Amino acid sequence: MERRLARGEDIPALAALERACFPEGADEAMLERFLSDGRHRFLLAEEDGTLLGYAWYEFVLDEGYVGNVAVAAEHRRQGVGRALVADMLSDAASLGLAFLTLEVRESNLPAQSLYRALGFLAVGRRKRYYEDNGEDALIMVCDRMPPADPDFEEPETVHEEA
Ligand SMILES: CC(C)(COP(=O)(O)OP(=O)(O)OC[C@H]1O[C@@H](n2cnc3c(N)ncnc32)[C@H](O)[C@@H]1OP(=O)(O)O)[C@@H](O)C(=O)NCCC(=O)NCCS
């Protein structure tokens, strides 16, 4: 398994997996915006050019907000999700973020178990957060950040058109 930051040419595969996992997930246009706005970080796992999974988060000052983590159904329970969340925490630590937070469906025990295994704690609840079925979201936070990656390179500054 190889892991790296996503690039523009990964968008169709990312969007296909996002659609497969989240009916209301980001489409290609949204992913394209996220990849180029300098406020989002996209990590992916692949094998022989096939996308296994991805994780992305948004950062504002020293705060990180996880958007989604997804692993293709046929590649689950093989450590891909764990590797991606660990990468995301290391990436966030290298950017100097103080914590990562996320919302997860109350019924999504696999994801909660993954996040707990990587140091996230449930700290609150958003009532009826999900519009499709009125389900509550658990708010989870990890503020025990791993050490920064010594090989980390700052992302390129994005120059927005005036
Ligand atoms: C949640 C998800 C990303 C986990 O990815 P994964 O690659 O299967 O996870 P891993 O194999 O790395 O598992 C790591 C740990 O997570 C937990 N876990 C993962 N899947 C689980 C399951 N089905 N049931 C219980 N625990 C589970 C376990 O603690 C596991 O460690 P273990 O294998 O040593 O027991 C994957 O199930 C997925 O893509 N689900 C659909 C999308 C989704 O719900 N994303 C989260 C949105 S907030």
The Cα–Cα gap between 158 and 162 comes to 12
Is 115 in the active site?
A: yes
Ligand 1 pocket test, candidate residues 44, 75, 82, most atoms within 8 A of CB: 82
Average pLDDT for the chain: 93
Residues 25-70: pLDDT tens digits? Answer: 889 999 999 999 999 999 999 999 999 999 999 999 999 999 999 9
Rounded to the nearest 5°, which phi and psi values hold at 157?
A: -65, 135
The pTM assigned to this predicted structure is 0.94
Q: DSSP states of 9-51 as a string?
A: GGHHHHHHHHHHH-TT---HHHHHHHHHSSSEEEEEEEETTEE
H helices present in 2-161, as ranges: 11-21, 28-36, 80-94, 109-117
Which atom of ligand 1 sits closest to the CA of residue 80? 7
Residues within 6 Å of ligand 1 by CB: 21, 68-71, 76-82, 104, 108-111, 113-114, 117
Instruction: Return the biggest CA–CA distance within the chain.
Output: 46
Closest CA to 81 of 57, 117, 30, 41: 117
- Residuewise pLDDT in 10s, the chain (162 residues): 999 999 999 999 999 999 999 888 889 999 999 999 999 999 999 999 999 999 999 999 999 999 999 999 999 999 999 999 999 999 999 999 999 999 999 999 999 999 999 999 999 999 999 999 999 999 999 999 999 888 887 776 555 554
Facing residues of 57 across strands?
A: 41, 66
Which atom of ligand 1 sits closest to the CA of residue 77? 11
